[in-house]
Structure 1
Amino acid sequence: TGCMLRAQFWPAKLRWLRRTNRALFRRVTRWRSPASWIFDNIFGVGSSSHSMASATGMYNVDAERWDDEMIDRCGIRLQQLDTIGDADRSTKRLREFRDATIFAAIGDGAASNIGSRADRRGTAAINYGTSGAVRIIRSKAVARKQTVPFGLFQYVVDAHRVVIGGAISNAGNLRQWCVRELHVPDEQQALSRTAAAEDSLVVLPFLVRERSPDWPENLYGTFTGLTQTTTATDLLRASETSTFYRLAEILDQIAQQTPVTDVIVSGGILHSAASLRILADSLGRDIRLSRELESSLRGAAVYSLQALGRNVAPLAAGSIIRHNRALARKHRQRRSEQRALQLLLEPAQS
């Protein structure tokens, strides 16, 4: 299915609901995403796109339809799921929709890659806002020859492309927690590029249950290396940097299968030049800034226009943040310390 068997996806939710509230489970006539429900009510198009269906964990990527075995294991019927289709005519008898082709919603990640110019070969996208993700688009033909690395996802973009990647639950939300609870006086000043690579603190940034690349569901947020001289500034900087290390692990897994020649960054992180420099050093790569702040919105528009046969002018290339090689070497060592701490604690907390 391209999805992990974890609580984030439909199979775990369906089986949980069937186990804990069987009476309610039996009364359900249709299982659908909020997007399908909204589009049905507004536009009169109730189908689910292949893209959205593939993010449920109930979709067979190779067969391009709902997965029979997963349907059976979840105790539901095929008729309870939306039909799958990427575009349709509206059933609403409104003048505005008379000649309109309505495109079903596509996945936010796929749209973000398209909208940020990260739909080209060898180009990966990093989105860093409240949460974070690393994704790369590749052809279905190539994807069928490769196995999705454990812990990552593979969703459909359209009839010819898929997006592979991983998401982290702790990103900008962790930074905001630090600012709020630690009363950091100047968060930008706290993000010293050199200090980030030389911090003695090792952090597992798991204030929220984490996802990719290894789904450490039994681990919680952890700080080691605290001393009397540790400041709120140190905690903020080490915490944010630790989330970048998670993104670096995902990117490395992707690059083992698909050569990555360009990395485009979008999301709220674009408002912090200091964070962007530390991100580049943590990845050990130069990064390119997206010129589109709302990459998912632009991507949804570009996707629809291209499906209609329209030519869309490419987004201009953004500026580049160069990584510091000396600092990148230090970050690689700190990444290994983070992995070692996680391995040390996993048996104790599992």
Structure 2
Amino acid sequence: MPVTIDVGTTAVKVLQFDVAQQIIKQEKKEYETVYGDGGRAEQDPDVIVEAVFHCLKKLNLTNKETLILSGAMHSLMAVNQVFHKQTNVMIWADRRADEVIKTFKQTPQAMLFYKRTKTPIHPMSPFAKLLWLKETSSGQTLDQSLGDVMWIDLKTYLWYRLTNFCELDYSLASATGLFNSETLTYDQEILNFVGITKEQLPTLVPVTHTRHVTTAVKQRLGFDHQVMIGSSDGVLANISEGLHTNDVHVTIGTSGAIRMTVNKPYTDTDGRLFCYYLNDHHWVIGGAVNNGGNVLNWLDDLLFDGMGHIYSYIDRLDFSSFDPALIFIPHLNGERAPFWDTGRTGSFHGLKMSHNKAAIVKAVIYGVLFNLRHVFDTLQHVTGKIEAVYLSGGFFKVPQLKTLVSQVLNVSVIESTTLEQTSMGALRLLGEKKRNDKLKYQTITQPPSEALKFYYNSYRNCLRMVSSSQLTNNLSKH
């Protein structure tokens, strides 16, 4: 019986399945992120490892379970030669590399490195964090105090605690900005550029690579479990319905993403999309946005005292009528795809005294969705026309939003009955399970109105205005 361990940004979630791959028990434990000056965003890896063991101990484990790991992308930490932590984990949200990356994007190496790695040039990546360590006084001070270290991610740290091996799956490695997507090895020129060697990085292994837990872990959990290294949370979420090429997933939780499973690596010539390896026959291409459900939470704080009432309010709104001249640009947290610019900001355009609460809420929702449409169009430009997408994420707990996303993207949307996309994707690594569309999915198709088509043109015009007035340092022109 499989057990999936999903180590996310805010919590670890451990799910136990029966032989029919139905959830029989689940445990979750949250942990903190410490934010500080200069864009610091760190977590204590030992707290997270203990959270994993806490959840595992609360399950009814036997000697039959296979543990499968998934982890968030773009983390970085240092350990010494006996694998004691030398730093906390810098997570994807760490922005200390902002200025270094803005400068690097102006160099010829930026596009060259992107084409080799298929990882966007952005402060989130381990490449950017290592460059910050090399090229800034604060980074050099930290680096020099560490001595002879290994540079690893959080999942590798957990894997070592479980198995006593320093290993990283190819899939998560392909999101580091250090991994050559053609040779499937660390890129020596990039390593030289950031000043580290491959001996300072984990050994690369396939996503289905398995080992047995250590004697110490066996004594702690009670059984000699087999553990599979797995992949990243985003890649696994995209294969939750199966290893079907051309499957497209739209996920909106706190942030958002659009991803497509493809059978070969794609390179966006403008550097706007990522493309991450899963195995020799499957890659996941797409773009992630910073601004999703968190924008609604911001609006909830402003208009509804932060009590969550905005969701019931949205469900009562009539979206057939709205002011298409009122445009909201939702870049409150900077933006990743397709801009990869941490300096972007949000704004209203066309706001008048006559606009009421309903008009503002509608504008914000359309702003979030059309922001995602921008990434969707970028993906279609690279891979070809998309007819249908799978939906997941807490944003869609409001039924009306499922219909709206169908209209805004002009596609059929398919809602899965499971919310555990990453864990279901992890199960796919154990073997394919046939998809039953009739029983598991609800399809919604809602063509866009003429007003929405007008809104999209207005939204794109506003983006152009914003791009001309804000300092943008992305690789492409928008």
For each residue in 1:270-312, what CA deviation from the matched residue of structure 2 results, as whole angstroms up to 9, or x when unmatched? 3111111111111111211122111111111222x12xxxx52
**1:39 aligned partner:** 159
User: How far off is 1:132 after superposition?
Assistant: 0.5
| Alignment partners' CA distance in 2, 1:265 and 1:118 | 15
Q: Secondary structure at the match of 2:239?
A: helix
Equivalence for 2:458 = 337
Q: Taking structure 1 as reference, are residues 288 and 77 closer, same or farther at Cα in structure 2, changes over 3 Å only?
A: same
Letter in 2 for 1:65: T
Identity %: 23
Residue 312 (str. 1) matches residue 437 (str. 2) = no
| Secondary structure, counterpart of 1:194 in structure 2 | coil
Structure that is richer in strand per residue: 2
Report how many aligned residue pairs link the two structures.
337
CA-to-partner distance for each residue in 1:26-77, whole Å, 9 max, x for gaps? Answer: 3250111111111211343431111110111111111101111111111111
2:328 corresponds to which of 203, 221, 234: 203
Structure 1 residues 165 and 155, CA gap change in structure 2 (3 angstroms): same
| Equivalent residue, structure 1, for 2:340 | 215
* Number of the residue aligned with 1:108: 233
For 1:189 and 1:147, how far apart are their aligned partners in 2? 37
Q: 1:9 aligns with which of 108, 118, 125?
A: 125
Task: Pick the aligned partner of 2:467 from 340, 346, 349.
Answer: 346
Q: Which amino acid aligns with 2:142?
A: L
Give yes or no for the alignment of 1:92 onto 2:214: yes
**Does structure 2 conserve the Cα–Cα contact (< 8 Å) formed by 1:122 and 1:262?**
no
Distance 1:97 1:79, change over 3 A: farther
Query: In 2, distance between residues paired with 1:104 and 1:281?
Result: 39
Cα-to-partner distance string for 1:221-263 (whole Å, 9 max, x where unaligned): 1001111121222222211211111222222222232442321
1:1-350 matches, within 5 Å, as: 1-18=117-134, 19=136, 20-26=138-144, 27=146, 29-86=149-206, 87-90=209-212, 92-93=214-215, 94=218, 98=224, 100=226, 102-115=227-240, 117=241, 119-140=243-264, 143=265, 147=268, 150-183=271-304, 186-189=312-315, 191-196=317-322, 198-256=323-381, 257-303=383-429, 305-306=430-431, 311-314=432-435, 316=437, 317-325=440-448, 327=449, 329-350=450-471
Does the 8 Å contact 2:122/2:341 carry over to 1?
Answer: no
| Aligned-partner Cα distance in 1 for 2:283–2:270 | 14
Is residue 123–residue 260 contact of structure 1 (8 Å, CA) maintained in 2? Answer: no
Quick check: 1:286–1:323 contact (8 Å CA) kept in 2? yes
Conserved in 2, the CA contact under 8 Å of 1:168 and 1:212?
Answer: yes
Q: Aligned letter for 1:282?
A: V
Secondary structure of residue in 2 paired with 1:62:
coil
Decide whether aligned partners of structure 1 residues 45 and 84 sit closer, same or farther in structure 2, where only a CA change above 3 A counts. Answer: same
Moved more, 212-221 or 106-115: 212-221
Give the distance between the partners of 2:332 and 2:176, measured in 1 at CA.
Answer: 25
Contact 2:275 2:286 in 1 (8 A): yes
Classify the secondary structure of the residue corresponding to 1:162: strand
Instruction: Identify the range of structure 1 (234-243 vs 200-209) with the bigger mean alpha-carbon deviation.
Output: 234-243
Contact 1:48 1:105 survives alignment (8 Å): no
Higher RCO structure (Cα 8 Å, ≥6 apart): 1
2:446 is matched by which residue type in structure 1?
A: H
2: CA distance, partners of 1:338 / 1:150: 22
TM-score normalised per structure 2? 0.66
Cα distance in structure 2, aligned partners of 1:315 and 1:68: 45
Q: Deviations over 1:186-214 (max 9, x none)?
A: 42246432135x44311110111111112
CA-atom RMSD in angstroms: 2.2
Judge conservation of contact 1:123–1:261 (CA < 8 Å) in 2.
no
> 1:214/1:314 Cα in 2 relative to 1: closer, same or farther (>3 Å)?
same
* CA 1:61–1:170: 2 relative to 1, 3 Å: same
SS in 1 for 2:258: strand
